[in-house]
Structure 1
């Protein structure tokens, strides 16, 4: 928000004379970020005075009408009191008061004024328009001042051309900071000075307007205030001070009715809308949209509504506006409008925020409604706007202010002032706590050493002791909190689980994979590209209540969508050889759904039951690790052809993960999306499948625009880290020599080598120390559908040297078990 410092001084007189930098320090002290200070007008502007048009002569013979005007620029009796100036504008007359830039003056933008000869006359200065003064875009004619303006007065001071504008960025949950009223109250509180509340007025009395209003959706709109004004002069100009103030605030002056609603919105934080009453058909109805409805908004864009997701303002004949965001083009104020209906409503912030994102339509009204608007400010804003339109537009009010609906009052909070001191770490007395809370708008009553605090209508975020303590600390000054370095307890280092978790990540990095963390958001459609079945647990997506993007409104149930998108992005940018990995959380909904999370207290430690209820409200969260690779693992060059990534490389990555996590894995053939059915392996730990690895399905590669034969793996790291011995002991090392024997087996070609190895281990018994596959052979002499696997078996006993007979017996037992389980036959 752009806030002229002169406007803030009206609300907080104690700011008068303070430099803008000091005001910025005060705002940032209370948590209001100021992006920049903008000074309006050039620093050396001078020579702008108020002049009176004495007479003018129309110069003939030119392509456009030109006037040679005589202007009095000083009341003194001197030679230069009257100046002759050439002007092309036609909207002034004799006795009009105008702004004159004399030779030597400087206009905004560094435009220097000099005397020059033009159209056969010497123009001794310039008569200025609003745009030339930086007060708006109107360049159709010069600016005519009120007739009582003093001749020769300093126009720079009169127009407020020298002012500092603070560009502030409010915190998302403090919508009141988007107003002069809200910022002024904060500054007055931190200065401990008086605050001139522009909203502290007496509402006008009178009968409700003879116009019906009905709210059909009280959740979306809990209050609708309105008033009828008649006899409005649509040609009446906005006062100069209002146009100047709006321009400084970054709002383009348009017309009196529009300028007044914008001015009151900036002043109070309450968005307003002015309707042409003759174009409204009673009653006004606030309701949800029906499927297929549409309208043209003020920006001349047709908006299609999505059923009950949009909140509308309608009358008996048509849609008049998208509530809280933008009005319709049909009933806007025009040059023929004489009767006006003013509206100031209070809308649900969530409803408005979603509408803004759904229609990509961010307005000044929407910015305020989505952050929260004071529900009590509607009638006040109507009264302020009515007075301005009456004063400057000749309108008269028909009766009083109508109001439909009643916002739910905020509950009072009973606090112990000592609790504030404990939370903040500063010893506040009861009077200080009460005073500071009163300064932010709370009603405070003391009884028996306790304070009953009723939050103001614009502070729905104050619901418990912690919120109120933060306000006391913020206004009283964070600098009063003395930094105390807590004593660091003696640590025991990383747990074994933490060490294994880090070892997994480091091992993959050492293996040539690049870690690429991604946002934990995804769309539901990305699972279609991965060919995930409808009944797969990855389809139980967790929908976010307020997503950053409409096309990524779910928490991820798998790491692969983000990881594969990284591969696609790198390949698209010319990096064809990619190997990446990610460790992160995945989220799925429980089968039976979840209960809403309870709000935990801030003044005490939650009970075990409350913490359990919080945990039960969470989705299922599992830590996963995933790798993906495409292109060449060994680049081609003068040394050779190179080698592309294959399923063997991703299986090596899986074994690296298992080794780093200190677990044993079992590999078996499997079918699982998004992998190729014939090139997919299931990875198991202690008999439980913890993930899959292999080559991606060609259809998946095509759908996601991945390179052909991209390989990937995804493992449940939580299950892997939970497996194994919690407290491993050092291995026992035998001092006796090993006995090594080789065995060559023929097995069916479909038998996984890992299953044959497992059978050998189980059959050999405790004497077997290690099994290593050193040869795989396929040939005609083995027969169709057979392959040969050769293993080196190493035997060792902890207490003796093994005999040949013992090693041979163990080898034969291993072969027998492999024959029984895998159909293995010992080769001759």
Structure 2
């Protein structure tokens, strides 16, 4: 919002000694962010004076152009008192007119220096200026002719043209629509400096008599108040007064015609958008309604628009003639033949205006104010002000009859504790000051004991709850007065069990060479297709999002693998030889089609509503995903690089389980996206907690990974539930270990895990460890069979084992393996 400082001072008695910087600093502290301070005449230097044209002699030139050789009285401004001889190419002035003259030595905007020079056979000593040459408008049609009596020849022309004016520009927050007007800025200045404020909207208006232009409101929610006034005998050729042009231009708008300029001027002055119709083009009563299906309207910008059934329109007997509060229609536009003007001042629903503007892609100064909320109480005053200016400057006559349909919406009182601003901000604000400040912003305040009731003013639709009142008090006192107080933390209880376990998991994975990544937790059918999941796989059943980031991934993911696989492929494509990535995060497990209820934000949900909301939230277990691809161990002078294998994935799981002191069982399984026969399911306590192994070749190809890439996905909630809060400390024996190796021949279908489990069961409590160190297949043991060689280590905590004890434990282990798996000891 741009505003000349002199215009603001018209409505607030600011001390004369206040500089522009002091004023803008205080307004910024109140919440109106300063964007710029401009001075239109800052680029003009040297003598710029008023001159009176004494003679004007037209002189045709060979090029077909006619110039005027003029003598101009500039008083004593030239140092001699003699008239200046000036060549001018404009023709909209004559002898006796007061004009603006820049004398030799002056510099105009753009660095254009003026000097006495010979042109068209004369020495031209200066320039008679147009508004465009002075940088105050884009009008090149002619030079500036000043009204008679405003100044004498030789007087400084800057004050007359507003070139000594300072214009301040503020960035206005969307909730402060009242500040998009001189009225609002002046009110803020009065608030900041505790200066007297004169409300330009405080005026006596004629009473509504129902004799004006008829108006019908079909949609009172979209338009609760509509005022109509009519003037006749308007002169469409009447010029806009220079002072009005200057102010409109300074505010960043373009002068168009007197009628349009007056409505824009009042909008800038009061903040209330006004629309004017050519009354002779309006047929029948004005009707406010929603657009009809298929209805079309050509707006003032010449665009034919198909209207939406939710668009509010103003219509007459011929159909829609304007988008209410956004833009008028071309059919009733004021033109250079308009002599009767129908003035519309209406209050529109802000939400409806915003949606209409977005749908129709219209951005206008009126729409920008209406969609933010305008003071409804000044509707009649704004219409009366427009009528007043049309009569004063357009020669019009106000027709009898004032139409007012509807009423000003009532504001609801806000109830709160009177000391709430002091408690929330920490500033020592007394109860009396709180009441005084709220009344200063326009609230009607009553206090009963420690309770305060405040009815916000009509121009502040943003004040709706107690904390809005807190903000008003604090911004007046000053945000710089809020004390810097370090909060006193409560006594800590340390990390929770889950936090300790999650940190241990992260450290273990990092020690295994893995790097943590974060991915978007969304998935779609294409994602599951790339993973090779069957059509009936429960992981395809996702919780759909109401407003997904991507339509291709509309559901909350049920697996973390896609995100980690994509990140692994991205890193490999950037030149990495091998990657080891992991991610921990929640997945959503859909348990039937449950739709979450949506409640309003005007109150706290009831207990029943909260329970219904919580019931709609799906289970969200914590998962871990690990992806290994490319080289697991780099190559060098010591040997060739070792590629990732399925056993690396299982190894990561074993190391993690060991760090958490959770016993796990690993056995063969088949599950997408892993390769059949190279997939292991991980169990603890007989419960499957995840899978590990080599990815299917088609999955590797779909995600752009090298062949034989491996992956892990575990349910960390189950894994952590099985872990002790504190891992048991390792125990060590000072007695020697007894080493025994055993080779067992089993069928090819028997897993290593099954044989190992049987050996552990049969060995008893003396067994310290068991490790597979060799697998043999060949003619010596027969087709379809394999030899598994295990290293058994026995130790007692309190003695040295005898040979008999070691042999007995070894034989027990072999016997258990034979009974459980059909193993035969290899000779």
TM-score normalised by L of structure 1: 0.78
Following superposition, the deviation at residue 435 of structure 1 comes to 0.9
Q: Give the structure 1 partner of residue 419 of structure 2.
A: 418
- CA–CA separation in structure 2 for the residues paired with 1:259 and 1:340: 13
Q: Give the structure 2 partner of residue 393 of structure 1.
A: 394
Q: Give the structure 2 partner of residue 252 of structure 1.
A: 254
Q: Give the structure 1 partner of residue 18 of structure 2.
A: 18
1:212 pairs with 2:194:
no
Deviations 1:292-320 (A, max 9, x none): 66655545556556x55655555554554
SS for the counterpart of 2:498 is helix
Following superposition, the deviation at residue 455 of structure 1 comes to 1.3
1:803 is aligned, of 801, 806, 814, to 806
Return closer, same or farther for 1:810/1:778 CA change in 2, 3 Å cut-off: closer
Following superposition, the deviation at residue 126 of structure 1 comes to 2.0
Deviates more, 1:359-368 or 1:503-512: 503-512
1:274/1:333 contact within 8 Å kept = yes
**Superposition map of 1:402-413 within 5 A:** 402-406=403-407, 408-413=409-414
1:231/1:394 contact within 8 Å kept = yes
Following superposition, the deviation at residue 39 of structure 1 comes to 4.0
1:767/1:795 contact within 8 Å kept = yes
Q: Give the structure 2 partner of residue 384 of structure 1.
A: 385
RMSD: 5.2
Q: Give the structure 2 partner of residue 441 of structure 1.
A: 442
**Superposition map of 1:591-610 within 5 A:** 591-597=593-599
1:730 pairs with 2:731:
no
Following superposition, the deviation at residue 815 of structure 1 comes to 6.7
SS for the counterpart of 2:168 is strand
* Structure 2 gaps, min length 5: none
- CA–CA separation in structure 2 for the residues paired with 1:700 and 1:349: 54
* Structure 1 gaps, min length 5: none
1:500/1:721 contact within 8 Å kept = no
2:777/2:785 contact within 8 Å kept = yes
Deviations 1:237-275 (A, max 9, x none): 333233333333333333334433433333333344444
Deviates more, 1:740-749 or 1:719-728: 740-749
Q: Give the structure 2 partner of residue 456 of structure 1.
A: 457
**Superposition map of 1:267-666 within 5 A:** 267-282=269-284, 284-288=286-290, 297-300=299-302, 308=309, 311-321=312-322, 324-354=325-355, 361-399=362-400, 402-406=403-407, 408-448=409-449, 450-502=451-503, 539-543=542-546, 591-597=593-599, 616=614
- CA–CA separation in structure 2 for the residues paired with 1:805 and 1:33: 88
- CA–CA separation in structure 2 for the residues paired with 1:562 and 1:57: 83
Q: Give the structure 1 partner of residue 90 of structure 2.
A: 89
2:61/2:67 contact within 8 Å kept = no
- CA–CA separation in structure 2 for the residues paired with 1:741 and 1:380: 103
1:672/1:680 contact within 8 Å kept = no
Q: Give the greater-gyration-radius structure (CA).
A: 2
Following superposition, the deviation at residue 538 of structure 1 comes to 6.5
Q: Give the structure 1 partner of residue 53 of structure 2.
A: 53
Q: Give the structure 2 partner of residue 236 of structure 1.
A: 238
Deviations 1:665-692 (A, max 9, x none): 778756669x999999887777366799
Count the aligned residue pairs. 810
Following superposition, the deviation at residue 331 of structure 1 comes to 4.3
SS for the counterpart of 1:803 is helix
Following superposition, the deviation at residue 125 of structure 1 comes to 1.9
Deviates more, 1:10-19 or 1:572-581: 572-581
Return closer, same or farther for 1:71/1:461 CA change in 2, 3 Å cut-off: same
SS for the counterpart of 1:543 is coil
- CA–CA separation in structure 2 for the residues paired with 1:304 and 1:640: 74
Following superposition, the deviation at residue 579 of structure 1 comes to 7.5
Deviates more, 1:586-595 or 1:777-786: 777-786
Deviates more, 1:796-805 or 1:653-662: 653-662
2:215/2:405 contact within 8 Å kept = no
Q: Give the structure 1 partner of residue 130 of structure 2.
A: 129
2:646/2:692 contact within 8 Å kept = no
- CA–CA separation in structure 2 for the residues paired with 1:681 and 1:290: 65
Deviates more, 1:805-814 or 1:608-617: 608-617
Deviates more, 1:324-333 or 1:113-122: 324-333
Deviations 1:439-459 (A, max 9, x none): 111111234454321112233
Following superposition, the deviation at residue 475 of structure 1 comes to 1.0
- CA–CA separation in structure 2 for the residues paired with 1:37 and 1:772: 81
Return closer, same or farther for 1:82/1:348 CA change in 2, 3 Å cut-off: same
SS for the counterpart of 1:391 is helix
Following superposition, the deviation at residue 503 of structure 1 comes to 5.3
1:203 pairs with 2:205:
yes
Following superposition, the deviation at residue 226 of structure 1 comes to 4.2
